[in-house]
Copies of this chain bind each other. A is one copy, B any other.
Amino acid sequence: MGAAERIGEFHADRVAEVTDDEYVSVTQDTFVGMAIDAFRAFEPVSDETTVYYLYVVDNSDRLVGVMSLRELLNAPEDDVVEDHMVTDLVTIDADADPEYAADEMAEREFPALPVVEDGVLVGVLRTDDMLEVVEEEATEDILKSAGFSFTDVEQSRSSAILESSIPRILRLRLPWLIVALAGGLLAGGVIDYHEETLSGVVALAFFVPVIMDMGGNVGTQASTIFVRGLALGHIDDRNAAKYFAREGFIGLLIGLMIGAIGAGAAYVWQMNEPYATELAIVVFVGLVSVCVVASVVGYVIPWVMNKLGFDPAAASDPLITTVKDVTALLIYFGLAAVLLAELL
């Protein structure tokens, strides 16, 4: 059974689950000629299995060296492998995250890495098997970011989602939608709280969609950058505060630009009304607030989720949406109540 067949059915959390047990190993006192014979004698189960390296172990099966097949062919047949093997080993731990292993292999351009458990050689990790792991992890990340709640990990495959039974699809998609429904109703509650203000200036309702859309978009961008950076190891405990401050500042800049355009549009739209200037100010502050809040919570909520041990991609979005909607509408209608007080 090839590793790729196995990972087609379940998701690999440990390198050990993708490890291939077809490899050639000899002890360090083996002659080069005998090692070549060991290669000749080796019959992989699958025709496609290609063996890249000779692994050299001591009497306790601890990995002590590696030789490529080319190095082996170039060495005198009467020497022992110990005289020619590379001892500066790059190994991967059986418990390591497959995504980390894939990064390591891509960066170093190794076609295979020996997998060890307490120094003992237990198998080989091959890049051709890792391709599927990387594709699968990426697909799962993408689908999770759209709010699919995976109870069964095999559901992460795009084909599985496309082919699943309708009850199963509903079970994957509905949980997040119901949380979002609750969040949307809560945001409506904020409008209800300011019903009097809204009754006085109904035009305030015209800008609720744009405030919600901008917050949603800015927040999605922030959380996408953050979750991806976390998954790829670019963001960690040491630099999280730096990126967090930076994202808040970017959110402010985006808010000032989007807010200026939005306020200009609001002023032109309502210029024949007595409250045109005040409304433009309220729209400006509302848009700036929602951009800053969405940027900040788009970073902070996935971070907290990650710290609490939840998957940041899956668990964050409904919370981000609710927090930025409620906060922005509170600020928008709160400021409107103050500035437009004389019209009420």
Contacts and interface: CB of A to CB of B under 8 A. Distances in A.
Interface of A: 2, 4, 36, 39-40, 42, 44, 46, 48-53, 68-70, 73-74, 102-103, 105-112, 126-132, 134-135, 138-139, 141-143, 145-148, 158-159, 161-162, 166, 169-170, 173-174, 176-178, 180-181, 183-185, 187-189, 191-192, 195, 198-199, 202-203, 205-214, 216-218, 220-221, 224-225, 228-229, 232, 234-235, 243, 246, 249-250, 253-254, 257-258, 261-262, 265, 269, 321, 325, 329
A325 B213 contact: yes
B129 A128 contact: no
B146 A214 contact: no
Contacts of A148: 221
B205 A187 contact: no
A259 to B, nearest CB: 10
**Residue among A184, A206, A325 facing the most chain B CB atoms (10 A cut-off):** A184
Copies in the complex: 2
Main SS class of interface, A: helix
A314 to B, nearest CB: 13
A177 B254 contact: yes
Contacts of A142: 138, 141-142, 145, 224, 228
Contact of A109 (B40, B110, B128, B205): B128
A240 to B, nearest CB: 11
Given A105-B131, A184-B214, A213-B325, A158 B232 contact: yes
A293 to B, nearest CB: 15
B254 A170 contact: yes
A208 B210 contact: no
Nearest to A49: B109
Contact of A134 (B40, B134, B180, B210): B134
A209 B224 contact: no
Given A50-B68, A145-B142, A170 B111 contact: no
Contacts of A180: 213-214, 217
Given A70-B39, A257-B174, A52 B209 contact: no
A2 B102 CA distance: 17
